[in-house]
Structure 1
Amino acid sequence: MNQDWLSAFRIPEPLPVHTLLETVTIIIFASVFIVCWNAFGEIRKKSSVILAVAFLCTAILGFLHAITFQGMPGFSSPEDMHKSLSFWLVSRSIIATTLLGLALDPEDSPITQLQSYGVLLAGLLATCAWGILIFIFPDWIPLTFLPGKGQTVFKLGCELGLIAINTLTALLFYRHSLRFQSDKSAEHLHIERTPLFLASSMMAMSEVYFSIYAETSDVNVVIGHAFQLFSAIAIYRSMVAVNIHTPYAHLAATSVNLAQSAEELKLERQRLSRMIDTAIDGIITVDDHQNIILANPAAALIFGYELDDLIGRSLNILIPDRHRHAHRKHVHQFGETGITRRKMGTHFEDFYVTGCRASGEEFPIEASIAHQFENGHRFYTVIFRDITDRKVAKEKMAKYHEQLSQLSATLQSIREEERKHIARELHDDLGQLLAALRMDLSLLQRDAMFADKNKQTIHSMDQLILTAITTLRRIATDLRPRALDEGGLFFALQTLQKDFSQRHKIDCELIADETQLILDDVRSTAIYRIVQESLTNVARHADASYVQIEFQRNNEQLRFTIADNGKGIDEQDMSKSQSFGLVGMRERIKAMNGEFCVSSPAGEGTVIEIQLPLQAKQSA
């Protein structure tokens, strides 16, 4: 009804008016991009990024529409008007679909810097593609303007579609505004819906007026631009609300959180102060000049000072004179290494960590030290305890252990000497008597008359004497093998190997060289007893069919292993106090400063590994 009446009005110079209104709109859309993109800094929301990129692309396409509008310098042909209207439709479509997507109330989420720049790049590339398509291949797009006839059916159809989209968007924003007024908690996108409702409505009205003009001088174009400008202002107002008001709301929430954090920090400091005051270990903090700035009551009690007497004084008053220079150097080196904590004085032999009481008495300390930077200054905190009682106890234990080791070595030596003596007595005395008795019995066998009458008795006596001699030799060998004294360790081990295989029907292999086993009597005896005890354990417990004894020697040590293919040994059996055989072997190895290891690989068989250091004279 108004078209004929409004069409009667003409704008004498339409180009400046159109350019002014379009330029202001482009500036507002560019401002929307700047606000949406920069309001959150590096932490952006997905909706904010999409809105920013959409309005940037709209501003670019609007600029291209403005410069190709009919009447602009260099753009006056009907084809240029077609290009201008094509840019117009693309830019309006981007705004309409963006507002519709926002009206659908999507779930918002944070987006990374890389993702946000990816969206921006994709939008700019798409805008460049549209620009190239419209400028270079305008024929690929249906005609939007015909000379003398004005807008085409395609143009009018697009306008009607945009009117429908903007009307739907306005309706959705109106419903949102009613819902969020009653339930603020339901609004996860902090956007004022009322300005967007007005913006969508005015965008629909602008499309109505843009669809009914026939000439560029028609007043309907000016009215459409006016509605478009008011819509842009409403959009800008809403975007300012979402992207400027929200960060300030975050700042307010942050202020509340900071206040809560300050209160929690205060409570934490009070709790820490109580913990320090009630700790039974001493705690001292010094600055980089070694002046005490914090000490707890336990530290003052340990050193025999009043607590107030320690604060502000040099740490040197707590360190013996002879250690002060070294201590200062040590602390400086510790601070330069970058290690934040270190344990000191964990062994009572470490007399470097020594404290000095107010009375001048020195005492050992176990301590851990840590350092940290605060405001460009370095501070050291030491947590320590007096280990005088522990030091005394450890010294006593070490002394007792040394005495027990000496006693064990002495007992082993006495035992070997006693065995050697008993074996010699059995072999030299009792063995000689049995041999003489058998010789006498042999003389009796030569008397034919006596032998015929007592043949069976004499034969039985001969067998008993022979058995007694064999048993006597075995006992003497077990006590002290003569082969060890007469032929050396290698010959003694060969004899032991053969005897073990014959007696227990277990295959035993000795891998050694005679030159490897030239050792002094003490070591030879100890190694022989270890091998003997190991074979005894194999026969008693292993259920093995094969044993291997292997020796390896260099200039520094002798290493040998005893391995069987039996059922193995349990972990708990290795440390049983009742395992006297293993205990005896360990004591022998310890007396020679060696290393002893028992293992059962995969629960199959047992392996005993022994390493003995060799002195130069023995290696030679």
Structure 2
Amino acid sequence: MKKLIPNELQGITFLSLVLFLISSYLWSQQAWLAQIKIPNALTIHTGLETATIIIFTSVFIVCWNAFGNLRKRSSLILAVTFLSASTFGFFHAISFQGMPGFLTAVDMHKSLSFWLLSRFLISFTLLGLVLQNRDIDVSDKISTISICLGLFFTLAVTTIIFNYPEVLPTTYLKDSGQTNFKIQCEIILVATNSVTALLFYRQIISTDNLSIEGHLKIKRSLLFFAAVMMAISEIYFSLYRFPDEIFVAIGHGFQLFAALAIYRGMVGINIHAPYSSLIQSTQDLQLAADELRIHKERLTGVIETAMDGILTINDQHEIILANPAAANIFGYAVNDLMGASIDIVIPMRHRHVHSAHVNQFGERGKTKRKMGGSFDDYYVTGLHANGSEFPIEASISSLIENDKRFFTVIFRDISERKAAKEKMAQYHSELTQLSSALQSIREEERKHIARELHDDLGQLLAALRMDLSLLQRDQTMTEKSRLTVSSIDQLLLTSITTLRRIATDLRPRALDEGGLFFALQTLQKEFSQRHGVHCDLIADEEQLILDDERSTAIFRIIQESLTNVARHAKANHVDIHFDRTHDALTFAIQDDGRGIEEGAMNKTRSFGLVGMRERVKAMRGEFQVHSEVGKGTQIQICIPLNSENANSPMSTK
């Protein structure tokens, strides 16, 4: 969508067009106008030039002084330019003031040289202003050096022109007036100002009219008008032959329009800026006050409608803020809490300690702290209006305002949560006891089934094999029958082996006959033979003299661990290491397999690890699993051995 042209720019464009049409009409009448001579031309030219010098000096003052030590490169360049232009303009006026009647061609050359230098400075500076895209900060030292250098070169050039005017090409001849060099310079100025005006116009319609160059505010529409007026003025300054022609006055008139536009576009807008800023600041202050009021109302609404209780106390421990939720939790009305001591909501036995804790919290310089957040530590206890006590979860924060410290507590009643937690703990304890009982029952059933299989079914199979052996000795048996009996004997032998393996898996006889150490040795050998994984048992027989319940649990843990290694680890080596002290038995199962991936240990189907963890928990031990993908897994278990449990099995042995 095309950007609309601002109304102010439309007005200035219209004014520029009207003045251009007037200028064009005067241009068409230049033959007639050339005959008009201005009486007292020297006085008129001096007055107009003086007005222009004053305006340019004002521009220099604003660009240099209005912002203290805060300057940008653009404002510094403008300051140096308009200082030099004002200086050259002054010497331009001085030059023709010293030659009544404009009779000296050399003086006119000097005057016009100063004139051209002044106009070239202004024209090319305005062009640079519209072309620049980036600005930088300039220090006060650099600014001072720059203005001094600018003034020095200006005075140096002035001295050269006064003493050696022939350094510059001739600009004026006594009989023929302006030279071709002077007219060509005017043509360059016309072209430069026309390009500047066009660029200002395009910049306004594509961005904004009012912009800021460094710390200097620029109104581009007025600078566009100034560039147009300067272009028109230079046209008329190129037409005259003698200084008393009316073309000079017309050119000075358009030049004065340009100077006023520059003044208004740079100086006027910055002079009025503080007042505009003051008005804007007042409006901003009102908006801030309205926002603060809205914020206060919103905050009050949040506090009033919060479901958690909120209390604020001063350094005297007096309640200065209480929301409805806090009053409801403690069974009071809000007005009853306001101004009261915080002690009315704290049990008597905790009041002294609570006050000391609050004071220490303020002295440490912390701004916030959580209180009573642990399920196992309800040290924050509230006192209801009816005298009953209840647990509270709370957080406290402190704030210093006007050298006074205030404490704010946000809390909630967790009586239901505490009751639910205690009930869950009871359920968990019962489940643990049930799990332990089920383990014991299962071991007893396994022991019974293993005994039945080994003693009864095993004896029957052995007797049956003995009978087959006797039958094989019968000489009257045919060869075919003998082969059949031999096959039956082989099947019986396989059945007996399978029966022994099943019975051993259910309840190894080595555990009952030789103890835990002998059972683990048997398990180690069978594991290595069955799965081809080298397994080392590092333990002493004296370390593993335990009661039957613990021996069975430890055997099952190691059995399950080796089963997991065989199924999942793809390991080549397993170490089982035991270490016993007077108070505890510690053992670890370490493999060099592929490890357990992150999150796999917490899967709901990881019954092997769950079973091991439950067995360890039943013995009040600690169970830890350390695994790294590609580097194996280590299971560490520590089982406490109190005097009662530790000595009992030794005595029985």
Would the TM-score normalized by the shorter structure come out above 0.5?
Answer: yes
1:481 aligned onto 2:505: no
Letter in 1 for 2:167: L
User: Do the aligned partners of residues 2 and 572 (structure 1) sit closer, same or farther apart at CA in structure 2, a change above 3 Å counting?
Assistant: same
Of residues 374, 385, 399 in structure 1, which corresponds to 2:426? 399
Match of 2:378 in 1: 351
Of residues 576, 589, 609 in structure 2, which corresponds to 1:560? 589
Tell me the secondary structure at the aligned position of residue 373 of structure 2: coil
1:584 aligned onto 2:614: no
- Contact 2:331 2:386 survives alignment (8 Å): yes
User: Do the aligned partners of residues 247 and 67 (structure 1) sit closer, same or farther apart at CA in structure 2, a change above 3 Å counting?
Assistant: closer
Displacement of 1:285: 2.3
Distance 1:283 1:6 in 2: 90
Tell me the secondary structure at the aligned position of residue 611 of structure 1: strand
Match of 2:219 in 1: 191
1:595 aligned onto 2:623: yes
Q: Deviations over 1:501-553 (max 9, x none)?
A: 555xx3323244235994453555334312323454566x65x7656433456
Distance 1:343 1:29 in 2: 64
Alignment of 1:362-401 (within 5 A): 362-401=389-428
Alignment of 1:155-166 (within 5 A): 157-162=184-189, 165-166=192-193
Task: Give the % identical residues.
Answer: 43
Of residues 67, 79, 82 in structure 2, which corresponds to 1:56? 79
Of residues 140, 143, 156 in structure 1, which corresponds to 2:167? 143
User: Do the aligned partners of residues 534 and 84 (structure 1) sit closer, same or farther apart at CA in structure 2, a change above 3 Å counting?
Assistant: farther
Q: Deviations over 1:537-575 (max 9, x none)?
A: 566x65x76564334567895332457569x88968953
Match of 1:30 in 2: 60
Tell me the secondary structure at the aligned position of residue 167 of structure 2: coil
Letter in 1 for 2:589: F
Q: Deviations over 1:50-102 (max 9, x none)?
A: 76233211144347758999999xxxxx9999999877655532322344567
1:322 aligned onto 2:349: yes
Letter in 1 for 2:425: A
Distance 1:418 1:2 in 2: 135
Tell me the secondary structure at the aligned position of residue 350 of structure 1: coil
User: Do the aligned partners of residues 188 and 332 (structure 1) sit closer, same or farther apart at CA in structure 2, a change above 3 Å counting?
Assistant: same
1:273 aligned onto 2:300: yes
Most deviating of 349-358 and 385-394: 349-358
Distance 1:431 1:33 in 2: 115
Match of 2:269 in 1: 242
Alignment of 1:165-244 (within 5 A): 165-166=192-193, 187-189=209-211, 191=219, 193=221, 197=225, 201=229, 205=233, 232=259, 235-244=262-271
Gaps of 5+ in 2: 1-32, 96-104, 212-217, 647-653
Q: Deviations over 1:382-409 (max 9, x none)?
A: 2221111110111121122123223323
Match of 2:637 in 1: 612
- Contact 1:30 1:55 survives alignment (8 Å): yes
User: Do the aligned partners of residues 62 and 274 (structure 1) sit closer, same or farther apart at CA in structure 2, a change above 3 Å counting?
Assistant: closer
Tell me the secondary structure at the aligned position of residue 273 of structure 1: helix
Match of 2:324 in 1: 297
Distance 2:314 2:606 in 1: 56
Tell me the secondary structure at the aligned position of residue 535 of structure 2: strand
Q: How many residues align?
A: 577
Gaps of 5+ in 1: 73-77
1:525 aligned onto 2:548: no
- Contact 1:100 1:169 survives alignment (8 Å): yes
Match of 2:8 in 1: none
Q: Deviations over 1:191-247 (max 9, x none)?
A: 3856974697479659967998999xxxx9999999978865653333234324356
Of residues 257, 279, 285 in structure 1, which corresponds to 2:312? 285
Alignment of 1:84-163 (within 5 A): 89-99=116-126, 115-117=136-138, 128=149, 135=156, 143-144=167-168, 154=181, 157-162=184-189
User: Do the aligned partners of residues 257 and 9 (structure 1) sit closer, same or farther apart at CA in structure 2, a change above 3 Å counting?
Assistant: closer
Most deviating of 311-320 and 261-270: 261-270
Distance 2:537 2:108 in 1: 107
Alignment of 1:401-440 (within 5 A): 401-416=428-443, 419-420=446-447, 423=450, 429-430=455-456, 433=459, 437=463
User: Do the aligned partners of residues 8 and 401 (structure 1) sit closer, same or farther apart at CA in structure 2, a change above 3 Å counting?
Assistant: closer
- Contact 1:597 1:610 survives alignment (8 Å): yes
Distance 1:459 1:227 in 2: 136
User: Do the aligned partners of residues 191 and 545 (structure 1) sit closer, same or farther apart at CA in structure 2, a change above 3 Å counting?
Assistant: closer
Q: Deviations over 1:410-436 (max 9, x none)?
A: 443454455456646765x44894598
TM-score by length of 2: 0.67
Distance 1:235 1:484 in 2: 109
- Contact 2:85 2:118 survives alignment (8 Å): yes
